[in-house]
Structure 1
Amino acid sequence: MKMKGKVVVAMSGGVDSSVAAALLQLQGFDVIGMSIQTFDNSKTDKERFDSCCSLSDIADARRVCDTLGVPHYVINAVDAFEERVIDYFVAEYLQARTPNPCVLCNNSIKFDYLMERALDLGADFVATGHYAKVQEDTGRWFISRATDEQKDQSYYLFGLTQEQLSRTLMPLGDLRKIQ
């Protein structure tokens, strides 16, 4: 089968990113798995395992990549996550505002770091397990709602740049979670 290009898939260790990687591999892409470490290994086990992107999540992602027969890398974004997401979150709370750390993390951590590392590896695309669609119309890229409106995550991705969108694949956008 002729490869469609190289794609780095953000691997959280969960079902959605695992399915995204498997689907892209079935579609003929050369898949590379990548997890983003946003925690400090010196924290207690309770603090680490209650957070997103825990050590066990990264281990799960590695197992999925091993099963698929694809390489898996881990990006250390601990300092950037603290500076760009945690500090923002705390500052907003202290001003009695409700922050949205997921949007900020997607824009300034996940996609920035993922895209940078993907380009370093010679990848053509990045992909995630988000339920959203990336579409192009008259030379402009945009995010649109997923087919499964109950799982739609397009809102969390509104801040992505044209450059990021032009190189992003979201293979779950046309699926329903039940599939």
Structure 2
Amino acid sequence: MKRVLVGLSGGVDSAVAAYLLKQEGYDVVGVMLRTWMSDDGQESRCCEIDDAKAIADAIGIPFHPFNCTGVFNDKVIQPFMEQYLQGLTPNPCIFCNRYVKWERLMYYMKVLKGDYIATGHYAKVVKLDNGRYTVRNAEHIEKDQTYMLYRLTQEELAATLMPLGKYSKDEVRAIA
């Protein structure tokens, strides 16, 4: 059975991605990448560990939270601030996806002996005839998130599953 690490944020999209992959017969492991601490040392509300753990428990999968606050600061916050101060309008999600989510998920995939990684992004990964991988639009274009994934490497794309690429947000909510 192939093992897939699913990045769980505590939200509905990643929860349904994990559920769908388990239903497809994968050995699913939930992983939370903690990226932010508030001034009082508490996790941010956007990526709640308790919610992600509750989702993993409800689906019946193991759960591993990992502290990624340092790499998030170095690869996302600092470059964002530098570019913003130069008068640019950076999109921190692009840097976070490439340098935090995928880079860290790939690392933990190897540590936890996984075969694939997955997220709750609305996109598709397709293997082309020439053997290279590409990101393609989700079937329901209104939630398409391919623009945030253009920096992913061939190695990352080859190891990525995106089970929500064929669903609308309403369909994902109905599954949840």
Short-chain TM bin: over 0.9
2:174 equivalent in structure 1: none
- Displacement of 1:68 in angstroms is 1.2
What's the CA shift string for 1:88-121, capped at 9, x where partnerless?
1110111010011000000000000011001111
Equivalences, count: 170
- Displacement of 1:40 in angstroms is 2.5
* Equivalent residue in structure 1 for 2:93, among 99, 102, 125: 102
What's the CA shift string for 1:40-78, capped at 9, x where partnerless?
36x238x8545x32xxx2110100101111110111111
Determine if contact 2:34/2:43 at 8 Å carries over to the other structure.
Answer: no
Is it true that 1:62 corresponds to 2:53 in the alignment?
A: yes
Is it true that 1:73 corresponds to 2:82 in the alignment?
A: no
Hey, what's the Cα distance between the residues in 2 that align with 1:16 and 1:114?
Answer: 17
Is it true that 1:32 corresponds to 2:24 in the alignment?
A: no
Is it true that 1:22 corresponds to 2:14 in the alignment?
A: no
Alignment of 1:42-57 (within 5 A): 43-44=39-40, 48-49=43-44, 52-53=46-47, 57=48
Is it true that 1:168 corresponds to 2:160 in the alignment?
A: yes
Hey, what's the Cα distance between the residues in 1 that align with 2:80 and 2:5?
Answer: 28
- Displacement of 1:39 in angstroms is 1.3
Q: How high is the TM-score relative to the length of structure 2? A: 0.93
Q: Identity of counterpart residues, as a percentage?
A: 44
Determine if contact 2:7/2:32 at 8 Å carries over to the other structure.
Answer: yes
- Displacement of 1:38 in angstroms is 0.7
Alignment of 1:99-178 (within 5 A): 99-138=90-129, 139-178=131-170
| Unmatched runs of 5 consecutive residues or more in structure 2 | 172-176
- Displacement of 1:178 in angstroms is 1.0
Whichever residue aligns with residue 88 of structure 2, its letter is: R
Hey, what's the Cα distance between the residues in 2 that align with 1:113 and 1:90?
Answer: 22
Q: How high is the TM-score relative to the length of structure 1? A: 0.91
